[in-house]
Each structure stands twice: as structure tokens, then as C-alpha cells.
Structure 1
Amino acid sequence: VAFSETNLCFPQLFNISCKKPKTSLSQVLLPYVVVFSVSLLTVALNLLVIVSVSHFRQLHTPTNILLLSLAVSDFLIGLLLMPAKILRDTACWFLGQLTCSLYSYICFVITSASVGIMVLISVDRYVAICDPLHYPTRITDRRVKLCVCLCWLCSVFYNILFIKDDLLQRERHTSCYGECVFVIDYIVGTTDIVLTFIAPVTVIVFLYMRVFVVAVSQARAMRSHVTAVTLQLSVTLTAKKSELKAARTLGVLVLVFLLCFCPYYIVSFFGNELFNSSSASIVIYLYYFNSCLNPLIYAMFYPWFRKAYSKNWKLLHIRDIYVYPDQ
């Protein structure tokens, strides 16, 4: 017995249309509300970071430029990827296969760029803690901006490898109209796991292990000399303490990122069937949720973000607020 055409995504395409997801309004209402609420919060908080760092010149430090780029990627995740993901999981995909491919492409671009920024943040803290005398000359605003631009450009061009075959043979991967799936070639997928997951995570973990060892030794050295400090040494110790505190804060940021990011690639490692299944949605949402957590980490550890969040934006207080922006 033929089922009703009302159960089809495209009733006019009776033989090749997908069935509508068998979910009631009560079942999808809560996920819709939660995801869209998190999406709005992610957009608002990251927009606040973008405006704060962009507006105040006192915040144009190399570290904050990297945080600005990370906030841009998090903003795009909240604005584009979160709403599209919940619509893709709970309703028919009415936007066509080309839009589906472009959506997948944007997902990969933002993911790759975020990983690259995390590697740059780790390098920044490594030089600041392990080679502080050369930090001002090696890590400059101009070089950091160039690295950020290269990171995004490499992500854009690198991920064309994934979208190329899907654009040329879009109908090969779809069994019916009304679904949005993305299939990655085995060789390309393996290469991506190595370049976007294994290699960056290894670099991040190695650099932060070095940062942790050096930071502990510096903290002990400062405590041992705290009883005999001159005025000049006191200023030096304050600067070192600021760098150590910034390393701890960014260490929390990197750790949370890895906890949210690793399950995403662990699931994708097992192949396209699991990656496109509903069981993989939870790890993708976990990775997206990291974009909402990052501004909350800033709010917990960075005074400049709390000041920007408050209503006291008067330029009279800027100098007092941003003496040590990395604290």
C-alpha cells in the first residue's frame, strides 16, 4: 500500500523524494529552543568580543588579535552553522544539493581555521613564556595579522579538496531529494584527519606541556625571590606574573577546545556512515557549543571583557582598565 504523499518532502517528486522525518512537534520543539537560544547567545557574546577588541586600540595586542580571529569563527558558527544543523537534523532539506555542499564546505573551513588559530595561540604562549626576551620582536601585531590571514586563506583553499567531487557529482551521494549528506573520499578524509586533527593536536599538546613546565619553574623562582625585590625587579615580576596568568587562561581555553573538538574527529574517523548518522549529531553540537563557552572563559579570566560587558564604556577609564590586557 502506497504511503500518503503528505509524508514526502517533495510530493511532486513521488518516486525520488525523501520521507519527512517522523518527529512530532513536541519532540523537535525543545531541541529547536535550546539550539537557537545557544545560537543567539553565541552570536551576542562573540560579537561583544569582536567589537571590544576592534574598537579599543589598547587591546590590539598579538594575543588579542588571535582571540579576535577565534571570536569571528565562533560568531559564524553561532550565526550560520548552529541553525542550519538543527534544521538539517529535524526537517527536510529544501535548499538543494548545491546549498548542502556549500554548507558542508563552510563547516570545514571554519573548523580548519579554528584549529589553526588554536595552534597560533599555543605558539604565542610558548614564545611568551619560554623565550620572553625575544617575544616583542618575534611576535608582532603585523606578523600575527599575517599569520591569521594565511590561516584563513589556507583553510579556504585546502577545503576545496572536499567540496570538489561533491559539487561535480552531487547526485551520486544522495539517495533521494530532501536530504543533506556529505561523503568524503577515503584518501582525502584520512589526509584531513592527519592535517586537521592529529598534527595540530600533537603540536598544541607539546607546546603547552613545555609552557606548563617553564611556567611552574618561573612561578617557583618568583616565589623564592619575593622577599628581596627592588622596584625594577618588582615591575619585572609583575610582567612575568601577567604572562603566566595569560598562559593559564589560554591554557583553559585550549583545553576546553580540545575536549569539545576531539570527539568530533574521533567520530569522523570511523567513516561517513557514522559521521552522517544521527548518533554523530551530539559530538557536532558539542563542538559548536565550544563557540559559546569561549566568551564565557574570557568573562571569567579577562577584566577587559567584563568591563566591556558592563555599561561603563567611557574613554576616561580605558587607560585604567587596560594596563595589563592579558591579565
Structure 2
Amino acid sequence: MRYFCNFLAAINRVSEHEVQFDLYHLLKRRDEQRELLKPGVSLPRHYFDFLLHSGVLEVEAAESYEPSTLQSAAIGMNIKSLGSNVLFDMCFSAQTYKLWQNADAFIEEITLPADIFEEYVYRLGAISRFRYLGRIEDPIVATELGENDMIEFKRDFLYSKNGIIKTVVAFANSNNGNLFLGISDEGEIIGVNQELEQYGDPDKYILALTQYIQDKTTPMLTPFPKISLKKVGDKHVVAIFVEVGSELICGLDKNGEKYVAIRTNNRSVIVKDPHQIGEIYVKRKLGSEISRRLGLL
């Protein structure tokens, strides 16, 4: 079902480069209904004007507003939760491949009914993604699911360092994934309690793990993996959630040499074929669908 709806910007202030406004959703029925989505939004003028030119935004202002010349823009809907209502951030960038890593502007925490959300995605030609798709925070749930293309277990940090980096790189180059430290390959929760005792402080332990991942991956992972400590009974487990990126991520081996890894089923595999590495790079930069449309894959 198509909906006759628009965003409505009640402009508060306009400068040469920026527009500040209250963002409403306007559902056009016999009796027009408006709903305040976000007060006090600030957006660069060329993105604000892009929404105007796209026909999804109306303006309400004390004085007439004159949009500037249309400039190219890409819009991404970064979904945070999905159901009858969708919670999302609207991301703006000059180029599509920069949306998830180097967006220039955001309107955060917008909530709309799912069908209305889909209408805006369609009308804007926006790219949408579920940022936290596949995130698993409960180690018990992870052990019930077992290792797969989005879950991997390692016994510890100190003796599994190389495997940790290979897995993080593989998830970053393939799909969102969860790496748990303190769980055996068989799915038994053994904990990292001894390592925590060696560091003397959980924060120092997490900091050391964070620093090691930073030092052994290039370019810097953005966004950086979410690392948290979970307790199952009297055992501590580390949960690391890695988001797939738009950059080709490399690991650094013990000699400082770069390598590329991807996720294949429930394994992280190092890729040596230059043509396959090139395909991964193109996918990360342009996205799989755009790459196929351009005949690059």
C-alpha cells in the first residue's frame, strides 16, 4: 500500500551552510496528521535541499525558504530495531560507498511505522541496513547455536591472539559476526578467569585486548568491535561483536605482513588470490548489488 506522507521541517534558523529545524512526519489523509519526530535537528543545507528536491520534505518557515542548486547525495537508513515500528538513523554522504563509514551528517533516533519507513526508503532511493543484525550478547545462546558463519569460539586471549585477529578480519570483510573468548571449540564455557587474574583488573584486560586488535588490523576498524565481559555462573566470557565494513580490512601477522581473511561457513580463511582480494575490495567500496550492476563482479 502506498502512503501519501512527507517529512515536514519547521525551520528555526538558517545560515549559509546549515538549517536548524524541528522534524515532523506528515500523514496526508482527509485530516492531515503531524507527528514530531525530532526537535532541534541541524543539517547541512545541501542535504536539507536534497530532501526538498526529492519531494519527501515540506517546509514551514516564518519567511520563504529558497533551496540551493541540487547537489548529489546518498542517503542511508541505519536500522537499529525492526518490528511494527522501525528505529533508525538517517545518514547522509556525498557518495554511496562512504555512507556507513564516513557519513557527513545524521538525523538520529527516528521512529516510524514499518510500512511508512519502507515508503521513505523507496522514494529516496535510500540504502538501508540493520546495523546490529546477527548480534548475540548471551554466551549461552551462542553455545546453543554453535559455531557458524556469524559465531566463533576461542578458549582465551593470550594463547589465541593470531586466531582472534584472523576471525575479526574475516567478519569485517564478510558479515557481522560474534567472537567469544572463554568458550571451547566444542561449545563448553570455560571462562577467561585466569587471564583476568593475571591482569588484576577487568578494565585492563579489555584495554589490552582492544589495543591488540587496533595494533594488528589495518586500516582502523570503523566502527570498532564492541567488546564486553559477560558472566555465566562464576565464569567470565568475552563477547566481541564485529560489524562488516566498507573498507577492505587486513590483519598483520607476526612479521608485520598484511593478509586478508574472509568467513566461509564456520571458518575464517586467509585469501591469497589477488583476483578474489580485488572482488572483496570492490564489494566493500561499492556494495555487492552496485558492483553487480556495474558488471565489476
Name the one with the larger strand percent: 2
- Structure-2-length-normalised TM-score: 0.25
Structure number with greater CO (CA < 8 Å, separation at least 6) is 1
- Structure-1-length-normalised TM-score: 0.23
Name the one with the larger helix percent: 1
